[in-house]
Structure 1
Amino acid sequence: MRYVITGAGSGIGQAVATLASHTADSAGTGPVRLALLDRDAESVEAVAAELRGTGAECLPLVVDLGDPAAAGKAVEQAVSAFGGLDALVSNAGISSADALEDLSLDTYQRTFDVNTRATFLLARAAFPALRDSRGAIVATASISATHPTPPLGMYSASKAALKMMIQQMAVEWGRHGIRANCVSPGPTDTGLTRGSFGDARDAAARANRRYREAVSPMRKIARAQDIAEAVLFLAGPRAGHITGVDLPVDGGLSLTVMPLTGGTPGYRLDEIAQEATAR
């Protein structure tokens, strides 16, 4: 398998790359080939060095996906190096805690540039190679694409647009053998969420984590590996007849709106808060 993976220097992208590096080449003809894209040179080089130890062929590329010219160039480099492409994993994303009334135009534009436009540019550049291989596109959306999430400003809107764009690709490019799907994580332990609920040294983060775990049916926060497993399933041959789906990987969190707001016994917010405090 030949992959382009964005945001590969940390978090979910790194987890996808790590799992992919242990996946045998489907044709048995050579190593897994990974084009690892990230804007942090040190991080992506370190991931590439580690994964080469598994036998994977790695091409680390320092890319700012907010630059409209960068996506196409990176895909061209990957296709040239690997002789084609089997899967595009568009995972890189950004967020900012801005209420709509305070949101600057620059933040608005940057959020859509990275979270939405970059996937389009990557996919458009990868289209000929994916058509040749009858390959797959998997984008990381969010349950925030379905559920507005204050105070993340344009994050929810950018992810909602991403979901629709992926569905559009599924419909338009299916006749070429290209599949396009999303995964939508809920709360997940990554560097991006460390300040919110991942820093065990911070009392507010610990309290937020306990509450988030308490409102989730599975009573836990996802690991980056949990999301990566879903990504690689959708990118691989076992999902060969699946396209245009948005797969929530949220421990059932998106199912809890009615129990929580309806005050169902065992799911009332006061009871949830008590459970979280007791943990």
Structure 2
Amino acid sequence: MNRPRSSLAHGAPPARPGTLHARSLAGTVTGSPEAGRIIRFGRGGGPDADLRVGEDDPRVSRRHGELAYRRGQWWLRNTGQQLLRLPRGQMMHVSTEPIPLAAGYTPVFVKGSGFREHLVELHVTDHGAAGSGSRRGIETLPPKRWSLADDQRLILVVLGQEYLRYEPHPRPLTYRQAAAQLSFLCPEESWGESKIAHRVEKVRTALEASGDFPYDLREQDPRGASDNTLKHNLLRGLVESTTLVPPDLDLLDRGLDEF
């Protein structure tokens, strides 16, 4: 499948800060940071959309979204019938207020027919990127991983088995289920629900203190987040960061001799 040619290709002149590059499978559009500049994307062409996306999907509106430059920023607005999905699960409805784009890369997914989603890649150049060269030759940066003690890893692997199997809708085991399995794996240690909960809370506290964990791990709402939601956030972040990986499931077969 041929990819659209990017305006950021090697040899292209550096873009001025605030320039917007929007790309889909159908092509690329570049917008200068000028007040009143608008870029529209959707299934239609011509006056309906500057950038076509989901051309063969009737669930995508002919003019599904627009990007407008005002007050020194690019603003994204949903103008279609289906939702737009942004990073971290943020959704935009046609009634949602426009949101400003930060400098850098933002993927936007247009909901289509069935399980289809159509990607629109947005990149706003910043002052630091305007004169920078290609980074193709630099060393790859690893994901942010967090350190876990052996007993913590075993407990989290037991709780997060569905996450490590990459099941479609994973949920954590209950502390009671985890205690039963840990008692089988490591019968020399006394396991109980409160003990497991205490060790999980210790991990959550440490990761929350780090300041860069991607999901909430403590109660933020005065009504209180359920412990199951906080466990889900914890396991999701650890798996997505590859702190926990599928080979860790081997622990379920052999347990740990000592902590």
Q: Pick the TM interval, shorter chain.
A: under 0.3
Larger radius of gyration: 2
Greater strand share, structure number:
2
TM score, norm. by length of structure 2: 0.25
TM score, norm. by length of structure 1: 0.23
Greater helix share, structure number:
1
